[in-house]
Amino acid sequence: LQKNPLTYEGGGAELSDGTRVQLLANIGNAADAEKAAAAHADGVGLFRTEFLFLDREDEPTLEEQTAAYRDVFAHFPGKKVVVRTIDAGADKPLPFLTDADEPNPALGVRAYRTSWEKPQVLAHQLDAIAAAAEQTEATPWVMAPMISTLEDTEDFVGLCRQRGLEPAGIMVETPSSAITADRLLQVADFASIGTNDLTQYTMAADRQLGSLAHLNDPWQPAVLSLVQATARGARTAGGDPESFGEKAARPVGVCGEAAGDPALAVVLVGLGVNSLSMTPRSLPAVAKVLSSISLEQAKELAAAAVAAPTASAAKQAVRAGLPILE
């Protein structure tokens, strides 16, 4: 047991120069939302909605879905709740949505792509989110997983706008969306980088295979370069390419596991990420490390990490600059 357990009182992380970074929670249902609120998360950065439906043979009714979203939103009145539309595929099958017979499930018709053949499931989900938003005081930020082209972005954002759902965003989980973020974010209002999938697709390494864990490492310089490209694209798309942090015109968050690693959180902020979403138990350690550095220092450490030759060199360079981790 730790003698002096870290605490987090909410309000985001404050860097030593006063720069603020939103600290949000990853959740899958209302019970998680309750825990996240108790842990003082500033809101929800990733609500994985498919977990509500994994044991279902049939699509849940509009009423059932509305109630499920409302129960989550109720824990965050007046706060941001980033709702991800269903992310199902062969690894997370949903009988009413996915095809189990794909040779390469990670590269298949998964996540947003399932709506190409079955648009009604996404349409119903967006209707239910809009209805739940009307019944509570939360502001849902809706986003779709596995967006890889401008056409995907335009179609998804269009569906959200038709229902008055704003802001409408995209997950950046593929190299294609990171590289073209400047264009995608002229259409989408925000981006959330899913570093778990972005890493698997950048390194061409199945995230479920333990034997590839050394490749599935968000410290890989190639992955960090794509985070940098996304944040740069967001600044270019939204206006002032030099603005950082809260001033960035298009908010960019990270909601993969990387956001909950304190040293990596510093790098992400230094690359221009505005919010970090993680499992609530990681909030105190991330807030503490961020409070020990300035934005300038974070930018310097991020530049060193991106320029490092290997993942371990990147890690070493950053840890050497963060004495608070010793």
Q: Which of 30, 185, 255, 286 is catalytic?
A: 255
256 sits near ligand PEP (criterion: CB under 6 A) = yes
Quickly list DSSP for 131-190: HHHHHSS-EEEEEESS--SHHHHHHHHHHHHHTT--SEEEEE-SHHHHHTHHHHHHHSSE
Q: Of the listed pieces 188-196, 209-217, 237-245, 304-312, which binds ligand PEP according to CB under 6 A?
A: 188-196
As measured in angstroms, the least distance from the Cβ of 130 to ligand PEP is 23
* Cβ contact 170:143 at 8 Å: yes
In the bound state with ligand PEP, the residue whose beta carbon lies nearer, of 201 and 293, is 201
Alpha-carbon separation of residue 47 from 37, 108, 161, 205 (angstroms): 13, 22, 20, 25
Q: Phi, psi at residue 245, to the nearest 5°?
A: 55, -140
Q: 173 labelled as ligand-binding? A: yes
Q: 84 labelled as ligand-binding? A: yes
Cα end-to-end span (Å), the chain: 18
As measured in angstroms, the least distance from the Cβ of 208 to Mg ion is 12
Instruction: Pick one of 87, 155, 182, 261: the residue that binds ligand PEP (CB under 6 A).
Output: 87
Calpha distance 67→88 (Å, rounded): 21
For residue 246, give both structure tokens: 């809260």
For residue 61, give both structure tokens: 């009714």
In the bound state with ligand PEP, the residue whose beta carbon lies nearer, of 172 and 266, is 172
Q: 113 labelled as ligand-binding? A: no
In the bound state with Mg ion, the residue whose beta carbon lies nearer, of 50 and 197, is 197
For residue 4, give both structure tokens: 């002096």
As measured in angstroms, the least distance from the Cβ of 197 to Mg ion is 4
227 sits near ligand PEP (criterion: CB under 6 A) = no
Given ligand PEP, Mg ion, none, residue 215, with its beta carbon under 5 to 8 Å by kind, binds none
Q: Of the listed pieces 74-82, 174-182, 192-200, 288-296, which binds ligand PEP according to CB under 6 A?
A: 192-200
Nearest to 207 by CA among 112, 80, 110: 110
For residue 266, give both structure tokens: 């510093």
Q: 250 labelled as ligand-binding? A: no
32 sits near ligand PEP (criterion: CB under 6 A) = no
- In the numeric block, the tokens 């902020």 are attached to 269
Instruction: Pick one of 60, 105, 167, 194: the residue that binds Mg ion (CB under 5 A).
Output: 194
Instruction: Pick one of 60, 194, 238, 262: the residue that binds ligand PEP (CB under 6 A).
Output: 194
48 sits near ligand PEP (criterion: CB under 6 A) = yes
46 sits near ligand PEP (criterion: CB under 6 A) = yes
Calpha distance 147→136 (Å, rounded): 28
Distance of CA 44 to the CA centre of its chain: 10
In the bound state with Mg ion, the residue whose beta carbon lies nearer, of 197 and 257, is 197
List the beta bridge partners of residue 82: 141
Active site residue 255: yes
In the bound state with Mg ion, the residue whose beta carbon lies nearer, of 92 and 299, is 92
Q: 48 labelled as ligand-binding? A: yes
Calpha distance 70→315 (Å, rounded): 41
For residue 302, give both structure tokens: 């991020």
Q: Which residues are catalytic?
A: 255
**Chain residues in the site for Mg ion (CB under 5 A):** 173, 194, 197
